[in-house]
Amino acid sequence: MANIKEKTRQKASEAIIARDQAQMSPSYARVFPLVVSEAKGSEIWDVDRKKYIDFMSGVGVLNVGHRHPHVVSAVQEQMQAFWHICQSDFYSEIAVEVAEKLEAIRPFSEKSKVFFANSGTEAIEAAIKLALHHTGRSKFIGFLGGFHGRTLGALSLTASKVVQSAHFPNAVQTYHLPFPDPYRPTLATFPGEDIGQAVLRHLEEEIFTKKVLPTEVAAIVVEPIQGEGGYIVPPRGFFPALRKLCDAHGILLIVDEVQAGVGRTGRWWGIQHEDVEPDIIAFAKGIASGIPLGGILAKESLMTWGPGAHANTFGGNALALAAAKATLEVIESESLLIRAELLGKSIKTRLKAFQKRYPFIGDVRGRGLMLGMECIAEPQRKTRAPGMRNTIVQQAFQNGLLLLPCGPNSIRLIPPLNVPEKLVDEALDILEKTLEDVAASYSNSAFSLPSPQRSEKSKAA
């Protein structure tokens, strides 16, 4: 009887996936064959009632977890009043309240102004347009490995995977620099120089002399921690030097806080770890606990565009704004900034212990609860091991833990900021068991990827 019930449940899941594949765009890149039935806090259940610990957070969206009671209550209350007006036509107090809250946590000394959109990519589009409008310049500097969205303007800045930009023209002329990766420096450095300094020297000596004049550049767009590129944390001192360079040439500094912002790194904004003031930040993801909301927070002196220069029908939807206000209140009332910092350090300590035990973990990095773990095949040469990474992510899924890949060969751990410590311990136990299983399935060399035949045998075993 148990086997019959199990097969019935499996068929229900498979049937939904089959219906999805018949109707949905093939451009969606699903990581797992998981059909979600319910979610609460830091846990997800599929239609087969299997439980998973969520260390994905909807790709960094659910900073206060699934269905936080305060957020649910705020959205329900707003629904009883109204759930849509167009910000271009009318006023609403909830919009002002969220804008005032963002003003209170702005990462620069000058007063701010806010523009609300629906997503991260729309936020970047708004930042691009504001930079073009304010400076009168037409070109941008981005970074290899950076991800800023998939609409054509944002995609011009994005340089993380060629599949994302293949067949699509650049809407904005952008020049890309290597991102300063201390673990994998891509530029030669002079004595006493780190990779961050080398990248900025390359910009000054090569890009600004051979590709584009600095007086043509409207803005430099950068993530405080490179997200999809591999959760790469640049060396300290890079951002202060970048700010100085921007000031010297009249270039705006736009910081993409879509993934790193709203408390994810233990600060309201990831750039605050460097004590650097940007000119514009783009936010989305964690701001409204999964109800679509994004936008930009800019210095008041930059918001020089007039009525009609930029607008959005759905941006600043009342339900999303109610969720945002409640989300920010939860982060404050539950002291989730300090919790993210302390819990992140604790998790990183255990990941470092895994690194010593399993040499195929080449690097552990991140801030707060934005943590990455890089998989390698040969420690001496730091050979990337994307196959190893993919095996770990899929095996963890089978064991009940949801992780996400990032970069060519890294894994990201991004649980909700209020994930219970008991679940953290359980998740790390699952990860440890997964690493043990994967290591055992490989050949005698812990650093060599298995042949397909050996991998299939391991699965059968």
Question: What confidence score (pLDDT) does residue 450 get?
Answer: 40
Of the three residues 282, 315, 333, the one that is the final residue of a domain is: 333
Helix (H) or strand (E) holding 249: helix 238-249
Extract the tokens encoding 116. 């609300």
Q: What is the arithmetic mean of pLDDT over 412-428?
A: 98
49, amino acid identity: R
Of the three residues 333, 350, 376, the one that is the final residue of a domain is: 333
Is residue 241 exposed (0-12), middle (13-18) or buried (19+ Cβ within 10 Å)?
Answer: middle
**Residues 329 and 339 reside in one and the same domain:** no
Mean pLDDT of the chain: 92
User: What is the DSSP secondary structure assignment for residue 206, as one 8-state letter?
Assistant: I
**Residues 15 and 143 reside in one and the same domain:** no
CA angle 312, 315, 321 (to 5 degrees): 155
User: What is the DSSP secondary structure assignment for residue 147, as one 8-state letter?
Assistant: -
User: What is the DSSP secondary structure assignment for residue 236, as one 8-state letter?
Assistant: T
Q: Using CA atoms, how far apart are residues 106 and 265, in angstroms rounded to an integer?
A: 16
Sequence-ordered alpha helix ranges (H) in 24-68: 57-60
Q: Using CA atoms, how far apart are residues 271 and 256, in angstroms rounded to an integer?
A: 9
What CATH number corresponds to the domain at position 438?
3.90.1150.10
Q: Using CA atoms, how far apart are residues 347 and 349, in angstroms rounded to an integer?
A: 5
**Residues 238 and 376 reside in one and the same domain:** no
**Residues 318 and 387 reside in one and the same domain:** no
Cβ atoms of 54 and 44 within 8 Å: the answer is: yes
Overall domain count for the chain: 2
Helix (H) or strand (E) holding 46: strand 43-46
Question: What confidence score (pLDDT) does residue 111 get?
Answer: 97
Where in 257-367 does DSSP place strands (E)?
Answer: 280-283, 294-299, 361-367
250, amino acid identity: G
Instruction: Please name every residue paired with 51 in a beta bridge, in sequence order, or none if there are none.
Output: 45
What CATH number corresponds to the domain at position 248?
3.40.640.10
Is residue 322 exposed (0-12), middle (13-18) or buried (19+ Cβ within 10 Å)?
Answer: buried
Extract the tokens encoding 40. 């609460």
Question: What confidence score (pLDDT) does residue 459 get?
Answer: 38
**Residues 18 and 145 reside in one and the same domain:** no
Of the three residues 271, 306, 333, the one that is the final residue of a domain is: 333
**Residues 44 and 180 reside in one and the same domain:** no
**Residues 449 and 395 reside in one and the same domain:** yes
Q: Coil, strand, or helix at residue 33?
A: coil
Given a cut of 70, whether residue 10 has pLDDT beyond it is no
Residues 6+ apart with CB under 8 A from 406: 227, 228, 229, 230, 231, 372, 412
Nearest in space to 292 (alpha carbons), one of 426, 460, 122, 132: 122
**Residues 25 and 136 reside in one and the same domain:** no
50-54, 167-171, 252-256, 386-390: least confident range: 167-171
CB atoms near residue 120 (< 10 Å): 29
Cβ atoms of 46 and 36 within 8 Å: the answer is: yes
Q: Coil, strand, or helix at residue 13?
A: helix
Q: State the DSSP string of 62-100.
A: -TT-BT-HHHHHHHHHHHHH-S---TTT---HHHHHHHH
pLDDT digits (tens, 9 = 90+) for 62-107: 999 999 999 999 999 999 999 999 988 999 999 999 999 999 999 9
**Domain housing 366:** 2-60+335-460
Residues 6+ apart with CB under 8 A from 366: 225, 231, 233, 265, 344, 348, 372, 413
Question: What confidence score (pLDDT) does residue 184 get?
Answer: 94
Q: Residue 456: which pLDDT band, with cuts at 50, 70 and 90?
A: very low
121-125, 235-239, 436-440: least confident range: 436-440
Q: Coil, strand, or helix at residue 257?
A: coil
pLDDT digits (tens, 9 = 90+) for 328-379: 999 999 999 999 999 999 999 999 999 999 999 999 999 999 999 999 998 8
Given a cut of 90, whether residue 164 has pLDDT beyond it is no
**Residues 210 and 222 reside in one and the same domain:** yes
**Residues 129 and 269 reside in one and the same domain:** yes
Q: Among positive and negative, which fits the CA dihedral 444, 446, 447, 451? A: positive
71, amino acid identity: V
Given a cut of 80, whether residue 443 has pLDDT beyond it is no
**Residues 329 and 410 reside in one and the same domain:** no
**Residues 306 and 269 reside in one and the same domain:** yes
Is residue 419 exposed (0-12), middle (13-18) or buried (19+ Cβ within 10 Å)?
Answer: buried
How many helices (H) and strands (E) in the chain?
15, 16
Residue environment code for 258-281, b if the CB has 16+ CB neighbours within 10 A, otherwise e:
bbbbbbbbbbbbbbbbbebbbbbb
CA angle 361, 362, 368 (to 5 degrees): 85
Residue with tokens 């109204």: 82
Question: What confidence score (pLDDT) does residue 312 get?
Answer: 92
**Predicted model pTM:** 0.93
Q: How far is CA 312 from CA 93, 98, 152, 285, 322, in A?
A: 18, 17, 17, 18, 18
Q: Coil, strand, or helix at residue 5?
A: helix
Q: Using CA atoms, how far apart are residues 323 and 345, in angstroms rounded to an integer?
A: 29
| Percent of the chain topping pLDDT 70 | 94
Extract the tokens encoding 346. 């604790």
Question: What confidence score (pLDDT) does residue 381 get?
Answer: 86
